[in-house]
């Protein structure tokens, strides 16, 4: 997710709310001595080099060049030019004292057309070999995400990508096996998918992210998101099975997935209706993927009862595979930025409801705002909610957590001079409070949190969608 660039015309969106000074001061509470520090990025958002050295086209290359533009006329053709600046970028990481760098591989640099019968691109493999070697030379651990939203366009054109479970699973596993074979001697921590919720809902329900499917574009928002989620879960399982069966013993690495999610407080904490809505929203958001992957179970009962035949069914064999593989998901990758209020909606849900008939927002029943505004309307400073989410995930899954993304944009940032922007006390305060929340979670709640990767290493390519539904985290 990109949370650095969020423009409306020429000005950064500013949302009035409670002051940051109303929050407690940063205490710099202790974290374990083996706690790991890093930063994260995504290939399409920083690499550039869109047409260099044999790279193929992804759905984001297509989406960001649509006319009329869906991305404010911007694209990732150059972005941060990381493709041509690897050496200096890694030196920059080392100067920060980074211990971990989480990055994603662009599938279309490895297999330009994406499919299991298509040729590999040795130039693309060389690029990532060099990046990994540079990181290790500077004592920075590479953590590699196989898929961060940039499906090969040819895979999408051939069979609709995630909408064809069997074909996508086979192609994704083939791509993953190449990455394990070529990089796994040095990469010891793998992520299959980044934020499957966003892929399913934003790509195939609201349509604000690639490939842009929605009812407005003639697609079926009633069923597509759940079909996509089903494919992602089973494709994750296929790759975990491939890694643990054929690579893990010799390479001695580990693998899992990264899930994003807000925490939800009830809109009216005195009402069982809204208390239940907050729990239901967490299950529709996080339990959707977390329960099958980390528990080896079927979808949450709240989803099954409310979605009915819109929700695909796991076969007996698929559920057995998920149960067998659940212990092999070595960590819970948590992308988290903010907390919202959850309000149970009166009346029946919309035909294409994807929230569990829950409305999200930043204001409760008494008009109280959940936290100070950042540079985005949906992202409020709510470290207490972060602590609660870590405990919720730990209590439900009992898997060590790595904070794989966290950060915020400063209000009015693009109106500042460079010197003013670099004096980013707001961001320092936000990160300090969220780190204190991690300390509370570890030392008082018994949650196992292994590390923290800030988002993002650099001010990367991002997009704005003029959508003011606060349930949608807007951006790339």
Torsion of CA 51, 160, 259, 15, to 10 degrees: 70
CA atoms within 13 A on the CB side of 463: 22
Residue of 195, 283, 318, 360 with catalytic role: 195
E strand intervals along 310-357: 329-335, 339-344
**Closest C-alpha among 303, 279, 461, 289 to residue 388:** 279
**Signed CA dihedral, 63, 207, 152, 88: sign only:** positive
In the chain the domains, ranked by start, together with CATH numbers, are 20-454 (3.20.20.80)
Q: How many residues does the chain have?
A: 476
**Catalytic-residue membership of 195:** yes
Unique residue bearing structure tokens 């008939």: 357
- pLDDT tens, residue order, the chain (476 aa): 543 322 222 233 344 567 788 888 999 999 999 999 999 999 999 999 999 999 999 999 999 999 999 998 999 999 999 999 999 999 999 999 999 999 999 999 999 999 999 999 999 999 999 999 999 999 999 999 999 999 999 999 999 999 999 999 999 999 999 999 999 999 999 999 999 999 999 999 999 999 999 999 999 999 999 999 999 999 999 999 999 999 999 999 999 999 999 999 999 999 999 999 999 999 999 999 999 999 999 999 999 999 999 999 999 999 999 999 999 999 999 999 999 999 999 999 999 999 999 999 999 999 999 999 998 889 999 999 999 999 999 999 999 999 999 999 999 887 899 898 888 899 999 999 999 999 999 999 999 999 999 999 998 886 333 222 333 333 33
Q: What residues contact 146, with CB distance under 8 A and at least 6 apart?
A: 104, 105, 107, 172, 175, 176, 179, 190, 191, 192, 193, 239
DSSP-assigned letters across all residues of 32-85: -TT-EEEEE--HHHH---TTSTT---BHHHHHTT-SS-SSTT--SSSTT-GGG-
Question: What per-residue confidence (pLDDT) applies to 23?
Answer: 86
E strand intervals along 164-283: 189-194, 254-260, 263-266
Question: What per-residue confidence (pLDDT) applies to 421?
Answer: 86
Instruction: Tell me the pairing of strands 100-104 and 141-147.
Output: parallel
Q: Which pair of structure tokens corresponds to residue 459?
A: 């001010």
Question: What per-residue confidence (pLDDT) applies to 460?
Answer: 85
Question: What per-residue confidence (pLDDT) applies to 462?
Answer: 64
Question: What per-residue confidence (pLDDT) applies to 413?
Answer: 86
Residue of 47, 154, 360, 405 with catalytic role: 405
**Catalytic-residue membership of 28:** no
202, 208 Cβ separation under 8 angstroms: yes
**Closest C-alpha among 117, 172, 122 to residue 146:** 172
Question: What per-residue confidence (pLDDT) applies to 17?
Answer: 63
Q: What residues contact 119, with CB distance under 8 A and at least 6 apart?
A: 111, 112, 113
Question: What per-residue confidence (pLDDT) applies to 362?
Answer: 97
Q: What's the CA gap between 248 and 258, in Å, rounded?
A: 19
């Amino acid at each position: 997710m990109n949370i650095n660039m969020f423009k409306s015309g020429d000005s950064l969106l500013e949302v009035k709310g409670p002051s940051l000074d109303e929050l407690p001061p940063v205490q710099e509470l202790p974290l374990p001595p083996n706690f790991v520090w890093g930063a994260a990025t995504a290939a399409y958002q920083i690499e550039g080099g869109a047409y260099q050295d044999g790279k193929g086209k992804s759905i984001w290359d297509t989406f960001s060049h649509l006319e009329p533009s869906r991305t404010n006329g911007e694209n990732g053709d150059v972005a941060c030019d990381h493709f041509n600046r690897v050496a200096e970028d890694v030196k920059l990481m080392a100067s920060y004292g980074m211990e971990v760098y989480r990055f994603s591989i662009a599938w279309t640099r490895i297999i330009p057309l994406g499919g299991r019968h298509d040729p590999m691109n040795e130039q693309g493999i060389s690029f990532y070999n060099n990046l990994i070697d540079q990181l290790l030379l500077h004592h920075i651990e590479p953590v590699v995400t196989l898929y961060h939203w940039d499906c090969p366009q040819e895979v999408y054109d051939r069979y609709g990508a995630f909408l064809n479970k069997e074909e996508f699973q086979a192609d994704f596993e083939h791509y993953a096996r190449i990455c394990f074979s070529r990089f796994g001697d040095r990469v010891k921590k793998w992520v299959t998918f980044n934020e499957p919720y966003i892929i399913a809902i934003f790509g195939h329900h609201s349509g604000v992210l690639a490939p842009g499917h929605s009812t407005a574009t003639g697609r079926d928002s009633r069923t597509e998101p759940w079909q996509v989620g089903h494919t992602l879960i089973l494709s994750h399982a296929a790759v975990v099975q491939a890694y643990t069966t054929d690579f893990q013993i010799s390479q001695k690495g580990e693998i899992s997935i990264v899930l994003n999610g807000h925490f939800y407080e009830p809109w009216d904490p005195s009402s069982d209706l809204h208390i239940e809505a907050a729990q239901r929203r967490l299950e529709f958001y996080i339990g959707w993927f977390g329960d099958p992957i980390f528990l080896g179970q079927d979808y949450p009962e709240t989803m099954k009862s409310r979605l009915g035949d819109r929700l695909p069914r796991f076969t007996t064999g698929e559920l057995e595979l998920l149960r067998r593989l659940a212990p092999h998901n070595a960590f819970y990758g948590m992308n988290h930025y903010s907390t919202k209020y959850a309000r149970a909606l009166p009346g029946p849900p919309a035909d294409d409801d994807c929230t569990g008939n829950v409305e999200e927002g930043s204001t409760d029943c008494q008009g109280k705002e959940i936290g100070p505004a950042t540079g985005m309307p949906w992202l409020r400073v709510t470290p207490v909610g972060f602590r609660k989410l870590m405990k919720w995930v730990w209590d439900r899954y009992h898997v060590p957590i790595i904070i794989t993304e966290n950060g915020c944009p400063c209000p009015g940032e693009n109106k500042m001079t460079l010197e003013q922007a670099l004096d980013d006390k707001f961001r320092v305060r936000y990160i300090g409070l969220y780190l204190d929340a991690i300390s509370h979670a570890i030392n008082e709640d018994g949650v196992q949190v292994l590390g923290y990767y800030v988002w993002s290493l650099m001010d990367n390519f991002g997009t704005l969608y003029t959508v003011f539904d606060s349930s949608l985290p807007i951006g790339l």
